[in-house]
Amino acid sequence: MRSQPVTATTRTVVEILDRLVGFDTTSSKSNLPMAEWVRDYLASFGVTSTFVPSEDGTHASLFATIGPSGAGGIGLSGHMDVVPTTGQPWDSDPYRMVERDGRLFGRGTCDMKGFVACVLALAPELKAREANLRVPIHIVLSYDEEVGCTGVKPMIEKFGVTLPKPRIVIVGEPTRMSIVDAHKGGYRFRTEVTGKDAHSSKPQLGVSAIRIAADLIGELGRIEARLKERQSDPRFDPPYASITVSGIEGGIAHNIIPPKCTFTWGVRALPGTDALGISRDLQAYAERELLPAMRAVHPDCKIETQTLGILPPFSSGPASEATTLALKLAGQNETFAVPYGTEASHFQAAGCSTVVCGPGCIDQAHQPNEFIEIAELEKCVAFLRKVAAWAES
């Protein structure tokens, strides 16, 4: 087990990653300090960046090009935000990177500032080779991927308008540098139950919103069981579309029948799964099995579901331009599918041939004591150098 990086480039990657981890870019906070640092860093090598700010100006995506101007070329995509550390038992300050036994610990080291650090570390090399690049290399960094890919979508809308549109995009989410050509979609919903309050000694005069919510959650479990029977894809783990209830809130006091209850839930959808149809199925169950009895007690009872976010499933295919190129550059002959979501589906929908390939293991993402192995960063640098060689060949 080593404790020190061995090459100058690796040292640079580690130094940049240390700086990036130091920016607390939890999605609820502004990412501008990190974005401005990246902009200034690239500018020091003569690379100009364009910001795509959020509507309120507190966040910004960054787009930079090295090589010939215009559309085409290859985009290296990463997100700057990270998930919260609240309540997690870290052994060290999550925003101060620590190296132990060849691993770099800190929030975002794996997901996905490690990839961003590799790209930035190679920026001086790419700039030095700029005259020889036959196609551009774009650095594409977004905000708020972790809360619904809200940053990348307005940036993609500018492709072909005020920003060049990459022909190929490599999304550097952690795959242990394996080539991923498909992932599940992520759909988020909030269901609100309006019942009727009453004194708990006379429950027949009220409608418990919590009990109704529990019934709906049970129905989601039954819907998931039916999904398992109808659709399966062994490339994914688990091989079926899954439904998760992530939060529930309701109740006033122990002696009041609760008039309100809200729960949030989500679907990890296989390609081809009608996730919005699941929401409709839940509402149909409510209309058929629950609301008649609820409204017999009080006519204002209702059950409403709101769609909070949609991340479509991603499937590029083994014969796509991005997949074919990534397999060749990585020296691999097998692609993989993963259960987590990325921004790849948005790039693919915009007409950019897309693949997912990046350093680190997704098992470390979002965890306390998140880490990335230095060896993974070195593999990523080697892969990116092959991307650069392809761009000038």
Would you state the pLDDT for residue 4? Answer: 54
Same domain, 84 and 148: yes
pLDDT band at 70 (very low <50, low <70, confident <90, very high): confident
Exposure letters 21-42 (e unless 16+ CB within 10 A, then b):
bbbbbbbeebbbebbebbbebb
Which positions are catalytic? 81, 145
Q: Which DSSP helix (H) or strand (E) runs through 79? A: strand 74-79
Same domain, 140 and 170: yes
CATH value at residue 110:
3.40.630.10
pTM of the model: 0.88
In a domain, 287, yes or no: yes
Same domain, 223 and 156: no
Of 311, 327, 356, the domain-final residue = 311
Average pLDDT taken over every residue of the chain: 96
Would you state the pLDDT for residue 180? Answer: 97
Same domain, 272 and 151: no
| Number of CB atoms found within 10 A of residue 254's CB | 6
In a domain, 3, yes or no: no
Tens digits of per-residue pLDDT, 369-387?
Answer: 999 999 999 999 999 999 9
Of 285, 311, 337, the domain-final residue = 311
Q: Within a 13 Å sphere around the CA of 352, how many CA atoms are in the beta-carbon half?
A: 30
Exposure letters 131-152 (e unless 16+ CB within 10 A, then b):
eebebbbbbbbbbbbbbbbbbb
Pairing assessment for the beta strands 371-373 and 103-105 based on DSSP bridges: antiparallel
In a domain, 50, yes or no: yes
- With vertex at residue 367, the alpha carbon angle to CA 365 and CA 368, rounded to the nearest 5 degrees, is 140
Does the structure show a pLDDT above 90 at 288? yes
Same domain, 296 and 192: yes
Bond into 294 cis (ω within 30): no
Mean local confidence (pLDDT), 7-24: 97
Same domain, 123 and 24: yes
Same domain, 170 and 207: no
Residues 6+ apart with CB under 8 A from 379: 177, 359
CATH value at residue 303:
3.30.70.360
Tens digits of per-residue pLDDT, 230-264?
Answer: 999 999 999 999 999 999 999 999 999 999 999 99
Q: What whole-number distance in Å separates Cα of residue 1 and Cα of residue 55?
A: 47
Tens digits of per-residue pLDDT, 134-169?
Answer: 999 999 999 999 998 999 999 999 999 999 999 999
In a domain, 2, yes or no: no
Would you state the pLDDT for residue 186? Answer: 94
Question: Residue 23 sits in which domain range?
Answer: 8-183+313-392
Same domain, 150 and 165: yes
pLDDT band at 69 (very low <50, low <70, confident <90, very high): confident
Tens digits of per-residue pLDDT, 189-235?
Answer: 999 999 999 999 999 999 999 999 999 999 999 999 999 999 999 99
320 to each of 181, 324, 381, 388, how far by Cα in Å? 9, 6, 23, 20
Same domain, 229 and 206: yes
Share of the chain above pLDDT 90, in %: 95
Same domain, 81 and 138: yes
Same domain, 167 and 198: no
Tens digits of per-residue pLDDT, 101-121?
Answer: 999 999 999 999 999 999 999
Helix (H, G, I), strand (E, B) or coil at 298: coil
pLDDT band at 1 (very low <50, low <70, confident <90, very high): very low
Tens digits of per-residue pLDDT, 170-192?
Answer: 999 999 999 999 999 999 999 99
Asked which of 48-52, 211-215, 237-241, 299-303 is least confident by mean pLDDT, the reply is 237-241
- With vertex at residue 129, the alpha carbon angle to CA 127 and CA 134, rounded to the nearest 5 degrees, is 110
Q: What whole-number distance in Å separates Cα of residue 369 and Cα of residue 108?
A: 10
Mean local confidence (pLDDT), 318-339: 95
Tell me how many domains the chain contains. 2
Same domain, 241 and 343: no
